[in-house]
Structure 1
Amino acid sequence: MNNSLAEVHPELVSEWSEKNLPLKPDEVNAKSRKNVWWRCGKCGNEWKSVINARVKGTV
């Protein structure tokens, strides 16, 4: 997929939660307004946020 989250922002892929499966970062557009789960690499805390908001760094 062109402009996928995995392609455009690979640094966010490590925070992609397994709760989103079977949806994967290479299957969503980096500008998507879809609300998905994210996981903090340091503490393991999980939260929901819109993909586009994460890309912009607002959440």
Structure 2
Amino acid sequence: MDHVLALALQVWTPEVATDWLTTANAHLDGARPIDVLRARGSSEVALALRAEAAGAYA
């Protein structure tokens, strides 16, 4: 969690990072990043965050 949050805070303000973590995400097939993080770890979430920060569309 700390790794993903640190990455998110490099890209967005704390408010936007929190919204990103708790909102459905197309890069994660509609799952919320926080739920994927809890269920499967940080790898997928970190990739989704990097893709979104780079402007990639899912």
TM-score (norm 1): 0.29
Q: Could you say which structure has the higher strand fraction?
A: 1
More helix by share: 2
Tell me the TM-score normalized by structure 2: 0.29
